[in-house]
Amino acid sequence: MNRLITISSRGDILPEYQETPIGHLLEYHNLNRQFGSYANAELLIGMCMDNRKHLHMPDNFAYIIRTGGANLRYSEFKVSYAIAVGGVRCIALIGHTQCGMVNLIARKEQFIQGLVKGAGWQPQAAEDHFFHFAPMFEIGNEVDFILSEVKRLRLRYPGIVVAPLLYRVEDNRLYLIRENTLT
């Protein structure tokens, strides 16, 4: 986790994010910045659907798209809508530790049995469902996936600031992800 930048003060926020909605999100969540009042969203947050994460931020500050692994590949129309109609100019893509979309194959039997017992599926249909969709939603390593998805979103929306973040479930704090691991 040496690729994470701890945010314990305003000075820890990278210069390109200071005084932006991304910097404000980090201040609201980690530094208890006093909430501002917002009539319109200033930020789009893409984050995992995991129930263990809750962001500390004011009402109306951000659009939030929650999807497994913070994978926005299949939510692009919603991203485009937030930009084109909602007017946001920044995206915070937030992965998290202990993500269930990592190593999905290890959960195959649990997934199948859960659909059989909980939803009344036939075992073969549940297995087929798993093998059809798991490759689309497997993210590998949380940090590496967020960095690759940030790169993809920057290419798709070159006029939008896109920042890679990680939510550590262990301490409920947000961290910036260092993009250049050589420094």
pLDDT per residue as tens, the chain (183 positions)? 589 999 999 999 999 999 999 999 999 999 999 999 999 999 999 999 988 888 999 999 999 999 999 999 999 999 999 999 999 999 999 999 988 898 899 999 999 999 999 999 999 999 999 999 999 888 889 999 999 999 999 999 999 999 999 999 999 999 999 997 554
Span 4-102+140-177 CATH architecture: 3-Layer(aba) Sandwich (3.40)
Cα–Cα dist 163/178, whole Å: 10
| Order of all β-strands in the sheet with 90-96 | 4-6, 173-177, 161-168, 90-96, 43-47, 62-66
Predicted structure pTM score: 0.92
Where do the structural domains in the chain lie, given as residue ranges?
4-102+140-177, 103-138
Q: What is the model's pLDDT at position 53?
A: 87
In this prediction, residue 155 carries a pLDDT of 98
Structure tokens at 87: 């007017």
CA 182 vs. chain centroid, Å, equals 24
